[in-house]
Structure 1
Amino acid sequence: MTYEFKKMTQEQAEEIAYNWHYDGEYSFYDIEADEEDLEEFLDSQARGDSSFAVTNDDELIGFFRASQKSDGIVDVGLGMRPDLTGKGNGLEFLKAGIEFVHSEYAPTKITLAVATFNQRAIKVYRKIGFEDTDIFMQDTNGDRYEFLKMAYEC
């Protein structure tokens, strides 16, 4: 697949927020699952220039958020369309995201956080070279969840 990263439009944000629903425990990642996340995701000012729609042949297949931190660190968040998950697409999608971050931000390090139950994603992150750096608890989706912070040295 050839991935294109472009600033997310309001229409794309609404498509993701209202129509992307994950199965089973992964429904945790539905944007609608957390009222604050939904509000921020749908607010074009909150998204700013850090939220990107990922397309392949003009078909929306994912999203990618990149936030420049201090000291050359870029924190990312990402999601793939539900029907594409669990089918071996994650590694290629993540590689494209890392290449995009390198070209746009020239980071020294890329960080991300993932719910610890999501072993499927953690396996992909480790395979590409992300390393575990911390475990923390976070309030989200109406409860408290354990997350793993990971880092990729550039």
Structure 2
Amino acid sequence: MDYSILKGKRIELSGFLEEDLPIISSWSKNEHLQRNLDALPFKPKTNDEIQKWMNHSSEKDFRFAIRLMDTNELIGYVEVDGILWTHRTGWVTIAIGDGRYWGDGYGKEALTCLISYAFQELNLFRLQLTVFSYNERAIKLYKSLGFEEEGRFRKFLQRDGDRYDMILFGLLKDEWKKNNES
């Protein structure tokens, strides 16, 4: 059987390597990227903070590097974290760190692998995420993968003098299975 749940057509999900630290550090200095990921004020992370995040391991958090299969280049990361095993729910995060790879389907491929991993390997029932209303590209991605908008935290975030909603999306295992039956 030539099958891997952590591989797409162009990417694979893997662990982090020591040499990934400077790349991820450069992403932490990318204001545009960080303001899409976090409601906290933009502040680049130290190498120690990034190293701790890269090496963190627990039974509630599963974090993967996104690598191009043909070159092994690190282009981003995905994670399921904050898992509540009793309820079989987890939070999803994705980041494509280098803008050269935005809009070319790498994020969709990586998130497809992560969702499959979460439902098939971890046996989760529900995945959820939040996204800021100004991140239209991410909203389009989540909807294309079957995530449903479940609620809004109205005017949750202030950026550059404007207020934005934070939207809650969810995906249930049976919805995912129905959408992925071939």
TM-score, normalised by the number of residues in structure 1: 0.75
Match of residue 72 from structure 1: 88
| 1:107-126 correspondence to structure 2 within 5 Å | 107-126=124-143
Offset at 1:94? 2.0
Offset at 1:22? 6.0
Say whether residues 1:153 and 2:172 are aligned partners.
yes
Paired amino acid for 1:109: R
Is the CA contact 2:112–2:145 (under 8 Å) kept in the aligned structure 1? yes
Offset at 1:4? 2.3
Paired amino acid for 1:69: L
For 2:22 and 2:120, locate their aligned partners in 1 and report how far apart those are by CA, in whole Å. 27
Give the length in aligned residue pairs.
Answer: 150
Label 1:12 to 1:26 Cα distance change in 2 as closer, same or farther (>3 A).
closer
Q: 1:38 aligns with which of 28, 35, 45?
A: 45
For 2:33 and 2:65, locate their aligned partners in 1 and report how far apart those are by CA, in whole Å. 20
User: 5+ residue gaps in structure 1?
Assistant: none
Is the CA contact 1:135–1:148 (under 8 Å) kept in the aligned structure 2? yes
For 1:139 and 1:93, locate their aligned partners in 2 and report how far apart those are by CA, in whole Å. 30
Q: 1:101 aligns with which of 96, 118, 122?
A: 118
Say whether residues 1:48 and 2:62 are aligned partners.
no
After superposing the two structures, state which structure 1 stretch, 63-72 or 124-133, moved more. 63-72
Offset at 1:131? 0.4
Is the CA contact 1:74–1:105 (under 8 Å) kept in the aligned structure 2? no
Label 1:30 to 1:107 Cα distance change in 2 as closer, same or farther (>3 A).
closer
Structure with greater Cα Rg: 2
Offset at 1:115? 1.2
Label 1:104 to 1:144 Cα distance change in 2 as closer, same or farther (>3 A).
farther
Is the CA contact 1:17–1:41 (under 8 Å) kept in the aligned structure 2? no
TM-superposition CA deviations, 1:91-110 (whole Å, max 9, x none): 32321221232344211011
Equivalent pairs: percent with the same residue? 21
Which structure is higher in helix share?
1
Match of residue 60 from structure 1: 74
TM-score, normalised by the number of residues in structure 2: 0.65
Q: 2:35 aligns with which of 28, 35, 47?
A: 28
